[in-house]
Each structure stands twice: as structure tokens, then as C-alpha cells.
Amino acid sequence: MVGIVSWGAYIPVYRLSQKKIAGVWGSQEANGEKAVANFDEDSVTMAVEAVLDCTRGIDRSCIDGLFLATTSAPYLEKAASALVVTATDMSRQSRTADFSSSPRAGTNAVLSAVDAVRGGSAHHILVVASDCRLGAAGGAMEQLLGNGAAALLIGDEGVIASIEGSYSASEEVFDIWRSDSDRFVHMAEPRFATAHYLSTMQATISRLMTNHTVKMQDFSKVIFNAPDPRTHTQLARALGLELKTQVQAPLFNTIGDIGAASTLLMLVAALEEAKPGERILVANYGSGCDILILQVTNAITKLSPRRGVKGHLSIRRDLPSYEKALVFQNMIQTERERRPTPEAPSPILLLRERQAVIALYGSRCRECRTVQYPPARVCVSCRAKDKMEGYRFSDKIATVFTFTKDYISLTPDPPTLEVVIDFQGGGRMVCALTDCDEGEIKIGMPVEMTFRKLYESKGITNYFWKARPIRR
Amino acid sequence: MESIKDRVAIVGMGCTQFGGLRDKSHEDLIVEAAYEALEDAGIDPEDIQMAWVGTVMSGEMGLSLSRPLKLNYIPVTRVENLCITGSEALRAASYAVAAGVCDIALALGFEKMRDRNIRGPEEVVVTPMAVKEYMLPPGNFSLIANRYFHHYGLGYEEGKRMLAKIAVKNHHNGNMAPKAEFHREVTIEEVVNAPIIAFPLGVYDACTSADGAAAAIVTRADMARDFRQDPIYIKSLTMCAGPREGRIRTDYDYLHFEETVQAAKRAYREVGITDPLKEISIAEVHDCFTITEAVTYEDLGWCPKGKAKEYIDAGVFNLDGELPVNTDGGLKCFGHPLGATGLRMMYELYKQFQGKAGPRQVKNLDLGMAHNLGGGPGTAVVSICIVGNEESPKMY
């Protein structure tokens, strides 16, 4: 049996109310809020979070590959999947691929992973979808698009939802697009885009029904993405679905449309509630359509708790203003502090120190068991030379020993919060504290590590780990 | 191993005006400090046998000194040790004289901080790896302030007022030092209510990045009185480099600078000091931030741990107190040209011992001490120099 073995999710902590967006532009107000990535987040950092959530209690070194789906990879050339593999400390002897260019990339990656496992070339492939798409200020896309990530571990053991069937179709259509010189996603004339979406989805879903001789009533949940909330409801009606019970709630009012991750995140949300024996239909639109039939197994009851969608939705902070969201998304030029531009990190050093910097490995002395970060040749406690073994800090929790709120350093979001943290199990680090309001910071506060962007210089993004408050 | 005690003397010193010297070049600062020192010692540039120049960011090689002074093919080396660079130039020159490889050496420190068109101080690297995570000094030193307040149960207001008294004292003293950048008394309220730069430190808790230069002519102790009747003698000149343990080890308390404690222990042993508060008559300490000065009182053994506030409240370190500290206004009023500060501290001690400190003159001086610190909490370099105007009777 091949299918989903585990799931995880990530939603940025900051939410922007639709009221605030409408208030600025005088546009028609949408309901709810959307998730906005912090200034130090991007599709890679969110993917890392979702992978870590998905692999709680799972040995990541046993995973044979990682497929990353995103339309907003930080680099057009340079594999984001390889960065996620390193940051999450997966084996580098693994298959990696970046799926992109359409919201359908998420299910493209799932189907490829399923085929790889079915074909016997892998036992476990981690699929992670993550997106940080931007809509231009004042437009409909700005209201619609949010940020988030979802991860699914595909495998042939301990399957919690098996893939029973699938169907794919492609279509050449200009309904949603972004060229390599555009920052913002464009949408065609809405009535055209909507009509094309509805006809494509209906046609492919009915084709699958015929092929697999199933009926809509056979599914306890039907999951599908859509260009907007109204069209989502329209398709549900057209398919004859029970709106309240059978249709998985879309993300528009809570997170926003998160592109390649939308449908997979809805699937994670559905799996959080799913019971053994239930069937789920997943339809993912984007330059065509992928459809999957899932069957939930008894193993779902045994999966240990994840933060998932439910957990992340409850961890939230209001963005105080619309302008703050513009700053976080680098959509507004702000007056820079008169400080020197940070030096771009050397690619040679970044490669040599990838284990320490990207995977956050320090060292542990085999003589006296002292752990320290960064890794060292000589032990800070017993001074033994070359008795070190690798020690991973990224998954250790810590407490704040002391802190500062720096109002003059170069940051898009002053003040910069810096903390000295002491790890459970030993070791101390001085690092930045993120996703934290300046009033919250205090000595003794529990924190966990999160992979973030430090700064960008000369086109090289400097990723590193920061601390963040543990929120439950 | 022999101590440096009473083997080396300072017979001439120079110091420029400190501050934002926009109309002065590197050359101007070096020439002014060096020629003041030469004239003070009554010697010519040709008399200098070896020289050391300290600068962190304003020059490279010994040529940064030999070029402006047109030194005549003598050994000149540039030294760098962050904020204690000036002290390190003095240490190199003094050790060379003590070693007997030269009789007259010049130590000069300078820095042009304000030419760089940036606001605020230099970044310090928190993570010394490919990923350079930067932190500014106010943030770095406020890590101690926040922990100190927390550990000793000082409320924000209480802690701020303790620190403010240090700023008020140093501004009071600096107001009487013509070469300082700032000549203005401040009140506790002004200091407490000034804009915060790195919580809880405000603008008046920090020194500025200034331009400036200072120089010393060092010679053998037994030759000193050939130059002048009032030289000062080096009783101890030591430094200490921490292995960065505090940044790594959880047993560092962020309440003190271990490097200061270790350097002081060594210096006191060399001089034979057992009760530093009583035996030292005047001191310059590294007040890059008010919190640094506060914990330094404790680290140098002038008051028990956690008791700085009581001693500050009692005025122990005021100009008329038991041990006047930063009688020229310190870094707080002079600003901090990284390469020059250590020598500027010595300049004040030198002038005080010669009775030339004007309205801020301290009387009955026996031993003077300069404490110079670079780096930050958990990872620092510290220089300590103890001087006196009497050659020890056992020397000849």
C-alpha cells in the first residue's frame, strides 16, 4: 500500500485582517484575515518548518528524498529542495527535486513521490509545498494571497491514507501567471478565469468518476482549491456536494490562497479530522488539474500529535497595521538606518560550514560530554583536543538567559531582539529572537529554534537559525 | 619571569582634542599627538628608536605612523586589539624597553571613526562563521544590564538611576577636561529619560565613536629623570584575552567580565596590592557604557558583587570620593576612538600625577590605574596598567 505516512504544516504567526487592507484601499471588504510571513521568512524557511512538523518522532535520515513544490522559490536557479534537506538534516544521499510554476506543483510532487515509491526506487519521499506569492498593493490578489506550507510524507509503511487512484489533465491557459521579471501574480479577466476553472474542474472530476466508477456520495470530504471564495462555493454546488459537511473549508478567511501549498494544507486539515475508512477526493487546479482519491486507514489513529493546521491557526499575532505587512513583504522602500551594508557571505565558507550554519550542528566532547556551539576542535570545558562529535541544536528547546532590544541596528522591523539562550541538555548561543513582540521578551522565557533569513547581500541570502517563543 | 614593575617610565605624552574632528585628517591627528609628546619629553623624532602604532580601522602597517612622522627607517609596527588597541601599542613599546632592545620608544594610538558616514558604532560579529550575525555594541553590553537588573532585583527605574549617576559623574568631570568632546553637565532625569538605543541603555548611557589620537614616549626607568623630574613609572602593564567561554558556556553569569577579574588579579599581584579601593588613588575605567563602568567596580574588587549601586550612591567614585574614577570624563565625554582610548586614559593619569589636571586635579596620588576593555560580555580583551610617580626604592 502506498500513501501518506505523516503530515505537517506551517502557518506564519502574523495575520493581517482583511478589514485593514480594505481600509487602506477603500476596496470591498473580504472576510477574516490572511497569514503574512515575517520579513525573515520565505518559501524555503516555511518549508523547513512544515518538514520538521511532519517528521516529529520520525528519523529523517531514513527518508529517501525530498520534493519541494513552490512557485516562489528564492532562486530561479539553485535548488531550494537541497537547502531544505540540509536545514532539516536529512541525508544528502537522497533524491531531491523542485516542482514549480503552478499551484498544481503541490500535487505534481505528491504524484511523483507516489510513483517513486510504487516503482520501488524509494520507501519514503517527503513532499513539502510552500508559497509566498505576492499580489500588487490595492488589487484583488493582495486580498487573496497568503503564506504557508504543508508537508506530506509519502511511503509504503504505516500508511494513514492510501492513494487509491489519480487522474491528471493539463491545459494551456492564461488565467494566472507571473513572468520572471514580475514580482506580482497576475490574473486574467475574472469572469473568464472563473468560467474556465469551473469547466475544467467539472470535466476532469467527472472523467475520474467514470474511470474509477465512484460517486460524489462515496467521499466524506472533497478538497479543492479555487481562484476565490465565491467560485469555490460555486464549484461545490455544481458538483452537488453537501456544503457544510462534505466540502473541506477553503483557506481564504484564515490563511489566504497559498498557491502550491493550498490544496495540500487543506488535505492536512482534513486528515486532522479524518476517521479510518473514510474516502477523500482531492482536486488541485493550476494549468490543468490533478485529482487524487484517498482512503483513510486505521493507522491514522496512531500518528503522534503534530502542530498541523489546527495548532498553527491557534498560534497567531495580529499585525498592527497594513504598512507593517508591506514592510514584511518588502513592498515599500523605507528609510534605511545609516549603517554599512552587511557583507555578502562567502560561498566557499557557506559550503564549508553548511553543517554548522544551515543544519545548526555544534559539537559534543566525547571526554566530558560538554556541548557547544559553534563546533570547535578544542573543548571549552576540559580542553581535550579533537574528541568532538556532531551535536544538533536545531531541535533543542532553550530558555532566555538575558536579552536586548536594539533600536539602532539595521532591520526592517525595529527593534532587533537579541537573546542569550541556554539549551536544555547544555550549550549556549547568542542569536536573534523572532516572531516576538518587544513587550513579550523576558528572562526565563522558553524558546525553540526556527530557520530564518538573516539578511541578503549581493544576491546571496544568508540563512541562519533564530530563537522564537514557544507558543501552544 | 620578571615583572615589568619599575623598569619602564613614561616621559612624554600627547593627546589631541577628541570628537567629531571633520576638518582634521589622519595625518593631523598623528602629527599633533606625536609632536606634543616629543616636545613634552624634550626630544626630537630622530631620538625615537622603535615605534608602535595602534589603529583598528584607520590605517594599515607601521607605515600609517612612519609616513606622517617621516620616521627614519626604524622598526614600526601596527597593533590591533579592538578597543584596547591604544593600550596594546603602549604595552608593546614598554615591553621592548623592558627587554632592553631599545631605550626610547614611541607608542601612538589614533582613530578616525567619524569619516565613515555611518551612524553609531561598529558592528561586532556574534557568530564568527560564514553567517555573520552582527550585533552593535549597545545591544551587546545591554545583555549585561538586563541580566544585572534581573539578578539583583533592580527595577527598571532603580537600575536606570544607578547607571545615570555614572553618566552624571563622568559628564561633571568631563566638563573640566578641555580636550573632551562634551562639555556639559547632565542631570539624572535627562539621562533616565533619554531615547533608548538598546534597552535599557539610553543615549546618555553610551559613549560616542569619536576621532582622536594620543601618544606616549617610553623609556628605561633608570633614564627617566634625564628627561624630566616628574615621569610616571609603570608598576604593572598586563592584559588578558578571554577564550570566548561566556558566549558558549552556561556558567557565565552575564554579571561581570571574567577578563577584567583575571587581568586585575595579575596586576594587583605584580604591584603587591591587597586592598585596591584603598591603595589605588585614581583610576580610568572603560566606560563604553555606564553598565560597563558599574560592573567594572565589582570586577576590580573595589566593591562586593552586586553592591555597585550602594557605592555609587555613596559617591565613592566621584571626583571627591575615596577613589575618583574617570576624572577626565572617560569615554563618556571623550568619545571612543578605538586605537586612541587606552593612551588617552594614560594621558589623564600622567597629567594628574604631574599636577596639571586643572580644576579636576586629584590630590595625594600614590597609584593610578587604567582599565581598558575590548569585545563584549563573555568574550573580551582587557588591559590593565598601574602607574605611580615614585620609582620603587628597591630599584636603582
Q: Which three cell numbers stand for residue B344?
A: 588617552
Domain shared by A12 and A155, yes or no: yes
Hey, are the CB atoms on A418 and B123 less than 8 Å from each other?
no
Which 243-282 residues of chain B touch chain A by CB within 8 A?
A: 243, 245, 247-250, 252, 254
Contact B333, B169 (CB under 8 A): no
| In a domain? residue A258 | yes
A328, A351, A371 — which closes off a domain?
A328
Nearest of B304, B303, B310 to residue B278 by alpha carbon: B303
The answer to whether residue A364 sits within a structural domain is no
Q: Render pLDDT for A315-337 as a digit per residue (tens, 0 to 9).
A: 999 999 999 999 999 999 887 76
Query: What gap in Å lies between CA A329 and CA A342, rounded to an integer?
Result: 20
Separation of alpha carbons B280 and B285, rounded Å: 13
Q: How far is CA B25 from CA A432, B22, B335, in A?
A: 38, 8, 17
B288 classed as catalytic = no
Is B140 at the interface with chain A, CB within 8 A? yes
Residues A296 and A431 in one domain: no
Residues of A in contact with B142 (CB under 8 A): 404, 406
**Chain B contact set for A415 (CB, 8 A):** 198-199
Last residue of a domain, one of A271, A298, A328: A328
Stated as kind and residue range, the H or E segment containing B199 is strand B196-199
Which of A402, A418, A463 lies closest to B135 in CB terms? A418
Cα–Cα dist A356/B136, whole Å: 23
Q: Which three cell numbers stand for residue A43?
A: 518559501
CA proximity to A285, closest of A70, A66, A71, A108:
A108
Alpha carbon of B248: minimum distance to chain A alpha carbons (Å): 5
Q: How far is CA B270 from CA A113, B89, B389, B395, in A?
A: 72, 21, 17, 15
Q: What would the pLDDT profile of A100-146 be if each residue is shown by its tens digit?
A: 999 999 999 999 999 999 999 999 999 999 999 999 999 999 999 99
Interface of A with B (CB under 8 A): 337-340, 342-343, 345-346, 349-350, 352-353, 356-357, 370, 372-374, 380-381, 401-409, 415-416, 418, 420, 422, 426-428, 430-432, 443, 454, 462-464
Using alpha carbons, select from B255, B215, B260, B218 the residue that is nearest to residue B239.
B260
For residue B15, what are the contacts with CB-CB under 8 A and spacing of at least 6?
B33, B36, B179, B212, B213, B214, B215, B340, B343, B344, B347
Q: Contacts of residue B134 in chain A, CB cutoff 8 Å? A: 342, 409
The predicted-structure confidence for A49-99, as pLDDT tens digits, reads as follows: 999 999 999 999 889 999 999 999 999 999 999 999 999 999 989 999 999
Q: Which residue has the cell 601599542?
A: B89
Confirm whether A286 is domain-assigned.
Answer: yes
Fold of the domain built from segment(s) B8-117+209-216: Peroxisomal Thiolase; Chain A, domain 1 (3.40.47)
In angstroms, the separation between the Cα of residue A42 and the nearest Cα of chain B is: 18
Give me the pLDDT at residue A26, please. 87
Quickly tell me which residue has 544538533 as its cell.
A392
Q: What does the DSSP 8-state code read for residue B389? A: S
Domains: count for chain A: 2
Which regions of A225-266 does DSSP assign to beta strands (E)?
none
CATH number assigned to the domain comprising residue A464: 2.40.50
Please judge whether B142 and A422 are an interchain contact, meaning their C-beta atoms are less than 8 angstroms apart. Answer: no
Residues A288 and A409 in one domain: no
Exposure b/e, A234-255, CB count within 10 A at least 16 = b: ebbeebebeeeebbbebbbebb
Cα–Cα distance for residue pair B17/B15, rounded to 1 Å: 7
Extents of the domains making up chain B:
8-117+209-216
Q: Which of A297, A328, A359 is the last residue of a domain?
A: A328
pLDDT computed for residue B128 by the predictor: 62
Residue A406 and residue A306 share a domain: no
Q: CB A339 to CB B128 under 8 A?
A: no
Residues of chain A found within 8 Å of residue B195, distances taken between Cβ atoms: 407
CB A178 within 8 A of CB A71: yes
| Chain B stretch 114-133, residues whose beta carbon is closer than 8 A to a beta carbon of chain A | 116-120, 123, 126-133
CA distance B307 to chain A (A): 20
- What's the Cα-to-Cα distance from A345 to each of A52, A342, B128, B133, B279, rounded to whole Å? 26, 9, 12, 10, 50
Give buried/exposed letters for B52-64 (b at 16+ CB in 10 A, else e): bbbbbbbbeebeb
Question: Do A426 and A277 reside in the same domain of the chain?
Answer: no
Chain A residue nearest residue B244, CA to CA: A380
Among candidates A353, A401, A409 on the partner chain, residue whose Cβ is nearest the Cβ of B129: A353
CA dihedral (A179, A184, A190, A194) in degrees, to 10, reads: 70
Q: What is the pTM of this model?
A: 0.95
DSSP helix/strand/coil, A216: helix
Q: In angstroms, rounded to a whole number, what is the distance separating the alpha carbons of residues A264 and A284?
A: 9
For the record, the C-alpha cell of B249 comes out as 558556556
Cα separations in angstroms, A301 against A230, A273, A283: 34, 10, 25
Confidence at residue B394, expressed as pLDDT on a 0 to 100 scale: 45
A278: domain CATH number is: 3.40.47.10
**Is B336 a catalytic site residue?**
yes
Residues of chain B with pLDDT under 70: 120, 126-128, 392-396
**Can you tell me the distance from the alpha carbon of B212 to that of B333, in angstroms, rounded to the nearest whole number?**
13
Whether A377 is in a domain gets the answer no
What distance in Å separates residue B379's CA from the closest CA in chain A?
Answer: 12
Low-confidence ranges of chain A (pLDDT < 50): none
**Quick one: cell of A108?**
505534481
Domain range for A412:
396-472
How many angstroms separate the Cα of B190 from the Cα of each of B162, B168, B176? 13, 9, 20
Residues A291 and A435 in one domain: no
Cβ contacts of B242 on chain A, cutoff 8 Å: none
| Alpha carbon separation from A104 to A130, A198, B50 (Å, rounded) | 12, 16, 74
- In this prediction, residue B130 carries a pLDDT of 75
Report the run of H or E that residue B235 belongs to, with start and end: strand B232-241
Q: Are strands B379-388 and B104-112 parallel, antiparallel or unpaired?
A: unpaired
Task: Give the amino acid at A399.
Answer: T
User: Cα(B196)–Cα(A409) distance, rounded to whole angstroms?
Assistant: 12
